[in-house]
Structure 1
Amino acid sequence: MDNPSRLYRRELQGRFLGLRFGAAVEDEFVSFLRETQTRNVRFCIWIGLILWMGVACWDVARYVQNIQGTANEAQFLKLLLPARLAGLLALTGLLIGMHRRLWGRWQHVACLVTVSVYCITGFLTGYLYMEMGMGNAMAGSILILMAVFLPCGLTFRETMPTTAALLVAYLLAGWWILSPAEWSEFWAIASLLVLCMMMMAFSSYLRERGTREQFVLRRLLDWEAGHDPLTGLANRRSFQKHFEICLAQARRDDKTLLLVILDLDHFKLYNDHYGHKAGDRALQQVALVLEHYAARPMDLAIRLGGEEFGLLSYADDAKALKLRMQHLLQQLQGLQISHEFSPTATCLTASIGIAQAEATCTTDSLFQQADAQLYRAKNAGRNQVCGPDMDMCAEGPELQVMA
């Protein structure tokens, strides 16, 4: 997989004018949007519910004062009252579903359906008041249409077709309910709605673009704060946090927790003779090899600093890990990184120490144990693996030693 840092930087350079990341980052962004917008969605739905109930109370007052006993009473009870009730039920149902987490990954779809019901019922009630000759209530349609652009977790690409569909619904409802004499006023309001939709769409575009930029910047900073920029492995900061989680889990599940420290042999000599750029390339190659040994969810490959690497292995056996580390030394030999100035061998080698965490162990004490095993490996001639319950250090692959 590509380095996340490179992915984020690439997206920043593209400026995402089309409001679309690459597939991997886009999935991240949409998930982030759904998670972070939940509170905003609830707030907006509550506001909509309060406003809707206020308008419903206003309807009841107007019914008692102006409609009851008139020719409009049947139309009010058969059409306007059910429309108000539908909007109320839609908003209430969405709030209950969100509180009980019924919607899950389909929450944005539930929001979309609710907003649509809310808008369409708002259009219908406005038309009915016009038809009953009780004033122009359609100016409120502008506010209703704005509900689509409120922060309900919809992206710009979802908002535009939704708004267009609601505009069509608005036009069809007017054509169905209003008389020809009222169409001139209707078209004037429709034109105003289109203009407002364009303005809100542009505002929505700018808002999402800003959100995307902040998302990528934050992810980039978070990733770089926890990873080594040269190799892409976790750094000491990430290791400390992950170690505490793994240690607590190991105590709870009565599992082992092992720390591997890998130190490249005579790497200062390598840098002195081949240059630091060649040294950086060698470190990156070693990191790629080590990363394959942290394939399980709780494992973590780390660059501790300089030419020193680490591997945190959860629920593992020391002897099995020792065999894998011997295989790692063989893979390093297979890289054929020439090191003709090494007193140990003609290619780059490493020494490895393994320590097992005890129940009361801390990061420092575990490092001290692993360092002690690493020094055993170095004292035994380097290119070795040493660890707990090992009477002797296990040698790496046979290499040609310099005379």
Structure 2
Amino acid sequence: MSFLKKQLLSDEERAVYRIRRLTLRFAPQLESQFKKYYEVILLPRIRWAFGVAIMVMLAYAVLDHFMIPDLIRREVLLLRLAIILALALGLAVSFIRAARPYMQTIATLVAALNGLCVIGILFVGSINNTPLSYEGIILTVFYFYCTGALRMYMAAACGWFVCICYPLAEMVAGMPPKVLLMRTIFLATANVIGTAGAYFMEYAARQSYALSHQLHEMASRDFLTNLLNRRAFSDKVEILWRQSCRSQQMLAIAMIDVDFFKRYNDSYGHVAGDEVLKSVASVIRQHTRRPMDLAARYGGEEFIGVWHDLAPEAAARIIEEIHAGIQALAIPHAQSEAAGIVSLSVGMVTLMPHQGQKFENVLQLADAALYQAKDNGRNGSVIRAM
């Protein structure tokens, strides 16, 4: 795997997949993708977490009804009811599509309210000289870290929030300092363990995502040139085509061919030919850096480029720059009838795509323009506006 990474991923690309250990973040361009992916993965877990918590709170409410003294039963049951209603509301909201991007925030707020209500129950017991089971706050903290389907920083925020609020509440209620100190230490220790566990769980999730993403990227790349392969290009260009049809934005499609490449291979050898293809791909890549631009090795010595939302004049300038970039390489080609160095022929079509029009038909027009460029003597371009 490390060999493949070195072959297919540049240093800049590998940096995108590095996890910042302190902040648990990818580079910005991958972080946004990971968040969307993780939102989808966590949504079922959040629903299960709400459902399980509701069942547990209902069970405790039944126990409270029979076991808690009359003096505080009403207040405790009201607090239990508040927790159950908050959890039920969170569960209901999770089925609203528009709310899904905000479910981590919603789950965090519900979890924090849950913690405050549990603190409230313990506080009611303390001020009425009816001590209740302290372990309930520990269980609540572990719910944040283990069952609540919260990301590490969200879970830690809830856990440490409770760790601060609980001692303050018991201090107001008059708990003896030694007892309060021991409980605070146990609660803080639970948070340390929970934070460490949540950190490593999210780190593992990020590692798994990064590996999966890299494998997908490598499977979509041409091994020699590191451009998109034909299959990946076909998938991506279909999406781009549909989007451009909807938004009515210009597209420029160029078929690019290395002039007399077979003669170059026969004269200089296949290893030298591979180096030419790499060099040509590098020049093309430099001019397809915008997020929605595409560049692929289409087959043999043939490449394809697609530029999104680009005026015909700007598209023509890019083709001129690609020609200039290849010429600047000054790779000798004694067998070329077009030039004494490696050169390109380009056929480009610029258009405003519309519904009912197919990309394959436009591609045929770009291919016809490429053949026209070859008939014109090669080392040049034919650009047609539709």
Q: TM-score, normalised by structure 2?
A: 0.76
Comparing 157-166 with 242-251, greater Cα deviation is found at 242-251
| Aligned equivalent of 1:352, options 338, 346, 350 | 346
| Equivalent residue for 1:20, pick from 17, 20, 24 | 24
Q: What's the counterpart of residue 393 of structure 1?
A: none
* Higher Cα radius of gyration: 1
Deviations 1:229-249 (A, max 9, x none): 555433212222234445656
2:241 and 2:31 map into 1 onto residues whose CA distance is 34
The letter of the residue matching 2:345 is S
- Supply the AA of the counterpart residue of 2:114: Y
SS of the aligned residue for 1:383 comes to coil
Moved more, 15-24 or 47-56: 15-24
Q: Which residue of 2 aligns with 1:207?
A: 201
Q: How does 1:2-401 map to 2 (within 5 A)?
A: 6-7=11-12, 9-10=14-15, 17-18=21-22, 20-24=24-28, 25-62=30-67, 66-67=69-70, 72=71, 75-77=72-74, 79-101=75-97, 103=99, 106-129=102-125, 136-150=132-146, 152=148, 154-180=150-176, 187-229=181-223, 231-245=225-239, 259-270=253-264, 273=268, 275=272, 278-291=275-288, 295=290, 297=292, 300-312=294-306, 323=316, 327-328=320-321, 330-332=323-325, 335-341=328-334, 342-354=336-348, 363=360, 370-386=366-382
Matching residue's letter, 2:303:
F
Task: Structure 1: state its 5+ residue gaps.
Answer: 391-403
Question: Distance in 2 between the 1:254 and 1:21 partners?
Answer: 35
Inter-CA distance 60–321: structure 2 relative to 1 (3 Å threshold): same
Kept in 2: contact 1:291–1:301 (CA 8 A):
yes
Alpha carbons 1:8, 1:216 under 8 Å: kept: no
Aligned-CA RMSD value: 4.0
Q: Is the 8 A contact 1:129 1:137 kept in 2?
A: no
Deviation track 1:194-219 (CA, whole Å, cap 9, x = no partner) reads 33333222222221221111111111
Report if the CA contact (8 A) 1:351-1:378 is conserved: yes
Aligned to 1:400: none
The offset of 1:353, in angstroms, is 3.1
Alignment CA distance shift 1:337-1:343 (3 Å): same
Q: Distance in 2 between matches of 1:322 and 1:129?
A: 74
**More displaced 10-residue stretch of structure 1: 18-27 or 200-209:** 18-27
Does the C-alpha gap of structure 1 residues 220 and 158 become closer, same or farther in structure 2, counting only changes over 3 Å?
Answer: same
Measured after TM superposition, the shift of residue 262 of structure 1 is 0.6
Tell me what 2:4 maps to: none
Quote the Cα distance in structure 1 between the aligned partners of 2:173 and 2:97. Answer: 38
Residues 1:39 and 1:131: Cα distance change in structure 2 (over 3 Å): same
Structure 1 residues 276, 366: CA separation in 2 closer, same or farther (over 3 Å shift)? same
Structure 2 segments unaligned to the other structure (5+ residues): 1-7
Residue 5 of structure 2 corresponds to: none
Q: 1:185 Cα deviation (Å)?
A: 5.3
